[in-house]
Every structure is written in structure tokens, then in C-alpha cells.
A and B are shown apart, each in its own frame.
Chain A
Amino acid sequence: KAGVTQTPRYLIKTRGQQVTLSCSPISGHRSVSWYQQTPGQGLQFLFEYFSETQRNKGNFPGRFSGRQFSNSRSEMNVSTLELGDSALYLCASSLGGGSGANVLTFGAGSRLTVL
């Protein structure tokens, strides 16, 4: 079956712009989580959506937002981009049953560079 698909894979923006990243989860998976990965901070949790509702949120400013559609596809948006937002943004899907042992399947990520 198809894996987690993230688009675009690479993008370059300038400071002050905004960006929207897309994630299509594995068919049947209702939970989508977003992570920011940087060399200095590792994987930092952004938020998780389940059945179109934000179920968990990390410690990121309000410039970072997301949403989930009825088909479980998710988008995240970053407004007023800063240089420090340059990172690999990873999306992961899971069945989302709420168990702590949820198995995440990650996409290949969207590499954002802010100039």
C-alpha cells in the first residue's frame, strides 16, 4: 500500500513569507503528526490531528498551524517565516487509537530553506 506522501519535497522561501506543506497519510490512518527536525534540536513535536481535530500540540509559536481534512489529509502552515524555521518537516501517520504504543509511519519530509 502507498506510504505517507509529503509535498513539496524541497522548497526555498524568504523571510516574512508563508508556506503550506501537505501530507497524505496511509489509507485508513486517522492520525497525522507533524515534527520539525533540525541538526541542533532533533525531532520536535509540532502537533497531532485526529479526525479533523487537533489532539496534541507542541511548544511552537502561533505562526505554526495545521489542519486535517475529512479524508485525513493534513496541511501545516508557517506564517512570517524566520531563518530559524529552516528545517526538515516530517509528517507521520498512525491508526491513532490513542494507545501510547502508536506506530508512526513517516513520510520522507519537506525540506524548507528560508533565506
Chain B
Amino acid sequence: TQLLEQSPQFLSIQEGENLTVYCNSSSVFSSLQWYRQEPGEGPVLLVTVVTGGEVKKLKRLTFQFGDARKDSSLHITAAQPGDTGLYLCAGASNTGKLIFGQGTTLQVKP
């Protein structure tokens, strides 16, 4: 069974701080996606990484896929209250299903 573990589960920081969220597995994934979910809404796709070692930037968010395609990280620079939400990583499994991590709840206080 392919599993994705995210850490930390909860993060509460002040506006302007930097943070990193990790998504780890013992399995290889063909691709990995990051979503953000706000209260009362469904998850919204932020990025998809496909190649081992790939780095993608989305404004203040930097996503990296591990060289072995088993892990990924999300780094936010100078966090803002609008970044508050649940961040989910999801890997494309060898059966075609998308497997989600447990999520990281981020709270950015003004």
C-alpha cells in the first residue's frame, strides 16, 4: 500500500515568517500534486511535479520533487494570512488512484 506522510500536521506562524511542509513516502510516485483547501471548499490544485528533482515556483511558494520521486516539499516565503488553509500533497499511484497525505493545517496570524 502506498502511503504519503505529511509533516507537520499543524503549523501556526506569524505573518512574514517562512515555513516548509514535507510530504514523504517509501514508495515511488509517477507524479505528485499539491492542493490547498479553505474551510467550506474543496481542495484546489496548486502545482503538479513530474520529474525527479523538479522545482516549481508559484509566487512565494516553492515546490520540490525529490530526486527519487518519493518525497516532496512546499516552502512558503514571507507567509501572509491569505496563505492560511489545509495543504495536501497527493501522489499518483501505480494503480491510477490519487493518494492523499493527511494534510498540513497552516494558520498565519497577522
Chain A positions near chain B (C-beta within 8 angstroms): 4, 33, 35, 41-43, 45, 48, 55-56, 58, 90, 92, 98, 100-109
Nearest B residue to A94, CB-CB: B98
Chain B positions near chain A (C-beta within 8 angstroms): 29-31, 33, 35, 40-45, 48, 50, 88, 90, 92-93, 95-103
Q: Which of B29, B31, B33, B97 contacts A48 (CB 8 A)?
A: B97
Query: Beyond A56-B97, A106-B35, A108-B40: 7 further Cβ-contacts under 8 Å?
Result: A33-B98, A42-B88, A42-B102, A101-B30, A106-B42, A106-B44, A108-B42
* Contacts across chains A and B counted by CB atoms under 8 Å: 61
B32 smallest CB distance to A (angstroms): 9
A35 smallest CB distance to B (angstroms): 8
State the main secondary structure of chain B at its contact with A.
loop
9 contacts between A and B (CB under 8 A): A35-B100, A43-B88, A45-B99, A100-B30, A101-B33, A101-B92, A106-B42, A108-B40, A108-B42
Q: Is the CB of B42 within 8 A of A100?
A: no
Given contacts A101-B48, A101-B92, A108-B40, contact A58 B97 (CB under 8 A): yes
Q: Which of A35, A98, A100 has the most CB of B within 10 A?
A: A100
Q: Is the CB of A45 within 8 A of B98?
A: yes
In the docked arrangement, what's the CA distance between A45 and B1, Å?
13
Contacts of A55 in B (CB 8 A): 96
In the docked arrangement, what's the CA distance between A105 and B30, Å?
19
In the docked arrangement, what's the CA distance between A106 and B35, Å?
10
Q: Is the CB of B48 within 8 A of A103?
A: yes
Contacts of B88 in A (CB 8 A): 42-43
